[in-house]
Amino acid sequence: MNRFIQYNPVKWIFGKGSISRLQAELLRFGKNILLIYGGGSIKQNGLYDEVIKELKAIQANIYELPGVEPNPRLSTVQKGIDICKREQIDFILAVGGGSVIDSAKAIAAGAKYEGGIWELISKGKTTEAALPLGTILTLAATGSEMNAGLVITNLETKEKIDWHSQHVFPQFSICDPLYTMTVPHDQTVFGIIDIMCHILENYFQNGEGADLQDSFSEITLKTLIETAPRLLKQPDSYECRAKVMYAGTIALNGTLQSGYRGDWTAHIIEHAVSGLYDIPHAGGLAILFPAWMEYAIHSQPARFSQLANRVFNVNEVGKSEKERGLRGIEALRGFWLSLGAPARLSDYGITSADLEEIADHSMRRGEFGRFCPMNKEGVLAILRTAL
């Protein structure tokens, strides 16, 4: 196990009725609050009215930024930064899923940064401050509610880039599974896949002595595999929604990553794909992750065999580690397809003529991949398998 420092200051407020804590959490900050949300679902399910009621109870001055997109965009982030600077915003409240929360983090950083926000993100620069923010989660998927990362898309340059800073940890995150009850079928599926991919990206690592972390990851994956079909049949099941929401947070809040660092190749390639073609992030991952696994298994089959055995119960006597590992990959792909995930990049209209550009975008920061080192030829091989 490698040396590590784990730091997570987010107050995690989980369960039914958690919004009752909102007033108390906000009283530490000023009255000028920027409320950020997405396409309007929170108005349809009544959450918007609940939030406004809580904000008015503390006599907040409410400013709104609606319409945050999936694959959140730089242009929307800039609108939020402009509001913050013009109205002297004291606190940002993000109500939504990962895209809304990521936008809020970028806005919080940009509001305190003297240069342009894209310069900060694209060049990986650091900032010394950010506006405080909090979240009310409505979609279990990205884990952004309890970490210091964000991903923003620049449509002009067709880049989708991640950025991290301890200054954009949320002050608090209210996670009530009831607020995910009305999430559509496809978004529920994509959320589960995204969570599983976060776990798997970290699972594929070269560290030693991390058996306990492996067990945490494996039981979380098994819980999601057992829960997902039940949830899709009973979308109003609080028990299922709670399990998925809990898993989504711990998948990327540091709990499963302590002591080693994962690979993250599939995410890097997917960011290139969705940056160019604006496809659903988890839809791209459902296609690319098994393709990456089929590429990486040739160099390190033992890890794949372990996953197949412990998560998918693949334990045929007389089979090699690679054979068992391939069976596990088949089981993972089959499970995601059974949920309704896409199978090929061509399902999104991507053709062989597009692969070179995707590979070039993937390589913009140089070679990558901690578990399985990746160059352009490797990326192209994975894309051809995924096509």
Mean pLDDT of the chain: 96
| Assigned token pair, 191 | 């959320």
Render pLDDT for 161-171 as a digit per residue (tens, 0 to 9).
Answer: 999 999 999 99
Question: pTM of the predicted model, to two decimals?
Answer: 0.97
Assign residue 88 a region: left if phi > 0, alpha if psi is -120 to 50, beta otherwise?
Answer: left
| Assigned token pair, 376 | 């352009």
> Cα 238 from chain centroid?
22
> Cα 199 from chain centroid?
11
- Give pLDDT, residue 318: 86
What dihedral do alpha carbons 292, 326, 301, 362 form, nearest 10°?
Answer: 0
| Range 372-382 average pLDDT | 97
Render pLDDT for 186-237 as a digit per residue (tens, 0 to 9).
Answer: 999 999 999 999 999 999 998 888 899 999 999 999 999 999 999 999 999 9
- Give pLDDT, residue 2: 81
Among 149, 223, 171, 217, smallest CA distance to 192 is for 223
Render pLDDT for 29-39 as a digit per residue (tens, 0 to 9).
Answer: 999 999 999 98
Q: Spell out the domains of the chain, with CATH numbers in brackets.
A: 11-180 (3.40.50.1970), 185-386 (1.20.1090.10)
Helices 211-233, 321-339: inter-axial angle, 10-degree rounding: 30
d(CA 119, CA 121): 6
- Give pLDDT, residue 296: 97
d(CA 164, CA 267): 15
Render pLDDT for 102-161 as a digit per residue (tens, 0 to 9).
Answer: 999 999 999 999 999 999 999 999 999 999 999 999 999 999 999 999 999 999 999 999
Whether the CB-CB separation of 84 and 56 falls below 8 Å is answered with: no
Whether the CB-CB separation of 140 and 245 falls below 8 Å is answered with: yes
Q: Where do we find the tokens 């993250």?
A: 264
Q: Where do we find the tokens 């055995």?
A: 309
